[in-house]
Copies of this chain bind each other. A is one copy, B any other.
Amino acid sequence: MKLIIAYIQPHRLNDVKQELYKEEVFKISVTNALGCGQQRGYHESYRGVDIEVNLLKKVRLEIAVNEDFVERTVEAIIRGARSGKIGDGKIFVIDLPECIRIRSGERGGVAIG
């Protein structure tokens, strides 16, 4: 199993969710994040003083999937999130040796979906 972590633009969340649904990936977890990447931020100004905002609002997805779902999931995220502009985001994939469903106590691949 793999744990897929993705940072995307907040307003792409709906598109990404839809693409994931199409691939039958229904289970995801979402958190708010601030990101600092190639996208250099922008300048706000408050009462005439510049604020360099280099922590931009991002959304962080966490999706645990079985091996055979990894590519489909990654592709779906890319389809939903890509605009071709800087700031589109990153996907990280890490190994997930164990997964447990709290309700039933099931473990492993069966628990993931």
Chain A positions within 8 Å of B, measured between CB atoms, are 3, 5-8, 17, 26-38, 55, 58, 60, 62, 64, 74, 77-78, 81-103, 105, 111
Contact B90 A100 (CB under 8 A): yes
Chain B residues, Cβ within 8 Å of A86: 103
Please judge, given known A-B contacts A82-B103, A94-B96, whether A28 and B36 are in contact too, CB under 8 Å. yes
Q: For A28, list chain B residues within 8 Å (CB).
A: 35-36
Q: How many copies, total? A: 3
Q: In the complex, which of the residues B30, B33, B37 contacts A26, with contact meaning CB atoms closer than 8 Å? A: B37
Min CB distance, A36 to chain B, in Å? 5
Task: Give 10 pairs: A residue, B residue, CB < 8 Å, sorted on A.
Answer: A26-B38, A27-B38, A29-B60, A78-B102, A88-B102, A90-B102, A90-B111, A93-B98, A93-B100, A94-B94
The reply to whether B29 and A36 form a contact with Cβ atoms under 8 Å apart is yes
Nearest CB in chain B to that of A9: its residue: B102
